Amino acid sequence: MAKRIDRFVYKQILTQFEAKIFDEEFTQAQQAEAKTNRLGIWSINKPGKNGDNFFKRLFKDELPHILISPDHFTRKLTDYEGDIPIKPEFLINLLRYIGVEVFEGTNSRDVAEKAKEASILYEIFRSACNNPLPVFKDFKNDIVNPIIITSNNDDTLNQVAQERIETEGASKVNLGSSGFVFDLSPTEIESIRAKRKFTDLIEDYFQTLSDKNYTKAFEFWHPEQRIKQWNDDISEFNRSKNHLRSLKLHSLLDKVTVRNGTGFFEIYYKVHLNSYFSDDLYDLINHYNGVEELPGFSKRVKLIFDTARKNKMYILDKSIHSFFDYSLVEYIHELAAYNPKALQSVFPKQGIVSFSRLAKIVVKENGEGKWQFEVFSDLMTGKIWMPHK
């Protein structure tokens, strides 16, 4: 399965890869051809000065059953507007070729699968790109440009990079043949490792919930939170989760903090629910936007509240906002988890409802090297999709 990576970072990977191929693989004649050809280095399909062809060695031989054209990597920048999909095997070869390696001491189990190895190498490279001292070389113009890797490419930051190169000296700035500067602090390295662990934790938890293995999912929570939120009762936990159809991690944000055995981070994730809903709910979420619509809005909200109350589901303490982020609907599902007739009296229709959320996560190490959830708090819900009437 292809891994999707940041478009800007993908460009930097290709820039460094192309520069190193140009310097280390090509004869003078091939260098001259690459400079003038529209495809650049990717136009060279004959053996280079090392006796073989880089494209065949690094990509065709890696996955011989896949047809791959010379413009495979550059074409992605025109075929895709957002994140770029790339096979893990190809991403690994690109990154390892330009000198990115897993950290010393990395557990072999963490890189046993190609997808995990690709993710680790990618996070190392991306963190290096965010470091204040990356340098990239444009092989067509023979110019080495010290820049700060930011989306706005600030000229002031570029000047800071140049000053650091001039004042700190070559002993601290290793350009290498590709112009790649790899200079991560121990704190940055630890953050990358933590991000990998927490990504695995979230993905395992989401898969466990999607498989409806609630007993195992309950164990992902710290014992104190099991007591606080569900009275340490697995049936209460089941009640709160049984309407879930599937959960999928979209991304774990870059800012990951670990201190005193506690980790803090945020995620975007996708939710699919087996949900009851109504035409009134659909209209409330999708159509009521203006002040002039308040009377109609109030009437529909009151109808939902009154119907819930008649079925002994008391929701008057919930906010108006809870209608729009779907948390009120989820709460009603929890109250009537084992009483579908009560649910249908409030929301008579049934179908799959989908949306994305931003969540704040706090995890705590339990003393045995295992991380468990202390906080899983939804901060924001994106556009909600539900079957239309």
pLDDT tens for 232-252 read 999 999 988 988 999 999 888
Count other C-beta atoms under 10 Å from residue 291's C-beta: 6
Residue 108: per-residue pLDDT: 54
Residue 42: per-residue pLDDT: 92
Task: For residue 207, give the nearest of 192, 220, 194, 222 by alpha carbon.
Answer: 220
The answer to whether residue 283 scores a pLDDT higher than 90 is: no
CA-to-CA distance for 187 and 185, rounded, in angstroms? 5
Of 292 and 300, the structure prediction assigns the larger pLDDT to 300
360 token code pair: 């704040």
CA-to-CA distance for 256 and 195, rounded, in angstroms? 6
Contact present, 222 and 373 (Cβ < 8 Å): yes
User: pLDDT confidence of 321, banded at 50, 70, 90?
Assistant: confident
The answer to whether residue 181 scores a pLDDT higher than 70 is: no
User: pLDDT confidence of 218, banded at 50, 70, 90?
Assistant: very high
**Least confident range of 113-122, 140-149, 250-259:** 140-149
Residue 292: per-residue pLDDT: 64
Residues 182-191 as b/e (b if ≥16 CB within 10 A, e otherwise) read: bebeeeeeeb
DSSP 329: H
**Least confident range of 183-192, 214-223, 228-237, 324-333:** 183-192
pLDDT (tens digit per residue) in 330-350 = 888 887 777 778 777 778 888
Residue 174: per-residue pLDDT: 36
Show the domains of the chain with their CATH numbers: 3-183 (no CATH), 190-381 (3.10.450.50)
Residue 141: per-residue pLDDT: 54
Contact present, 240 and 230 (Cβ < 8 Å): yes
Residue with tokens 């999928």: 248
| Average pLDDT value over all residues in the chain | 78
CA-to-CA distance for 186 and 236, rounded, in angstroms? 42
CA-angle at 82, arms to 79 and 84, nearest 5°: 65
**Least confident range of 123-137, 196-210, 276-290, 306-320:** 123-137
Contact present, 240 and 224 (Cβ < 8 Å): no
CA-to-CA distance for 364 and 101, rounded, in angstroms? 29
Per cent of the chain over pLDDT 90 is 27
User: pLDDT confidence of 146, banded at 50, 70, 90?
Assistant: very low
DSSP 389: -
Burial bucket for residue 44 (CB in 10 Å: 0-12, 13-18, 19+)? buried
Say whether pTM exceeds 0.75.
Answer: no
Per cent of the chain over pLDDT 70 is 77
